Amino acid sequence: MRKTPKGIKTRKFSWTTILLLLLFVLLAVLILIPFYSIFLASLRPSTEIMRQGIGLDIDLSIMSFDNYRHLFSGQTKYFTWFFNSIKITAVQTVLTLLVSAFVAYGFAMYDFKGKNVLFTCVLFIMMIPMEIIMLPLYQLTIKLGLMDSMWGIILPAVAGPLPIFFFRQYLSGISREFLDAARVDGCSEFGIFFRIIAPLMKPSFAAMGIFVGMNSWNSFLWPMIVLRSSEKLTLPIGLNSLITPYGNNYDVLICGAVFSVIPIILLFLIFQKQFIAGMTAGGVKG
């Protein structure tokens, strides 16, 4: 029996679709397994996890919300850490966006002596992993008296190279004649930035806000070095401090870990487009 060309085409179409679909479903399952298994683990007693590790099977006889009840009972520092993280993330995001946009505006809209040298410095920072200079930076932080304070975390990153780069790229699309019109109307240079340019930058603020915010919320190494007292820790550092060889804190640790991810995932599901734009913002071409 012969098939019409069209019939062959639809059949071919469906086969590749099915194969692709299978591949992607398999990958999606593999990616979701860790989420699923850590969530199951958060419902099991920690002694069980210490003895058996985590698995995929649901055993209702030992599962309960006891861990979460304990987490919310206020006997742990978990929510102190949670609010520390929110505070640092908020302050860091707002400050970094403001300062970086300010600097980027200077780079994008003016020609001045030393501009190229300075912008090379921005690229220079972008290329150097902060970890390489963390030893002297740590000593500097001690000298400046910024240890164990959130400013020790925020200030070194306040003029972020990537946000500066990104904003400059964004601003280069705005014509300078536009600014001259504002100047004729008697606007000062800073008035132009705050009244005219900043509102125009809203979409780029959203993308960079997510980029900076996510980095700050999940930041680990530098806050671990700077923060000392246990009531000042951020969430990742606090959770990490619960990891002991004896595993006596595993119930709080695991459900705390799960609970720390939930708000981010909810935010992501609502603002998906902005999240993806923000977290892949580094991909903009120079």
Total residues contacting other proteins by CB under 8 A comes to 95
Residue number with CB closer to other proteins (37 or 80): 37
**In angstroms, how far is CA 229 from the centroid of its own chain?**
24
Q: Can you tell me which of 86, 91, 137, 182 binds other proteins, judged by CB under 8 A?
A: 137
Cβ atoms 100, 167 nearer than 8 A: yes
Name which position in 7, 9, 10, 13 contacts other proteins (CB under 8 A): 13
Residues contacting 98, CB < 8 A, separation 6+: none
Q: Does 54 bind other proteins (CB under 8 A)?
A: yes
User: By CB under 8 A, is residue 107 in contact with other proteins?
Assistant: yes
Q: How far is the CB of 49 from other proteins (least distance, A)?
A: 7
In angstroms, the CA 203 to CA 55 distance is 43
User: Contact, 154 vs 95, CB < 8 A?
Assistant: yes
Of the listed pieces 61-69, 76-84, 200-208, 261-269, which binds other proteins according to CB under 8 A? 261-269
52 binds other proteins (CB under 8 A): yes
* DSSP structure class, residue 2: P
Cα 172 to its chain centre, rounded Å, is: 26
235 binds other proteins (CB under 8 A): yes
Tell whether residue 214 is a contact of other proteins (CB under 8 A).
Answer: yes
CA–CA separation, 192 and 40 (whole Å):
54
Is there binding between residue 68 and other proteins (CB under 8 A)?
Answer: no
The nearest distance, CB 89 to other proteins, in angstroms, is 12
Contact flag: residue 163 with other proteins (CB under 8 A)? no
Q: Which stretch in 2-10, 70-78, 167-175, 190-198 sits in contact with other proteins by CB under 8 A?
A: 190-198
188 binds other proteins (CB under 8 A): yes
CA–CA distance, 270 with 275 (Å, rounded to integer)? 9
Closest to 163 in 3D by CA, of 284, 271, 267: 284
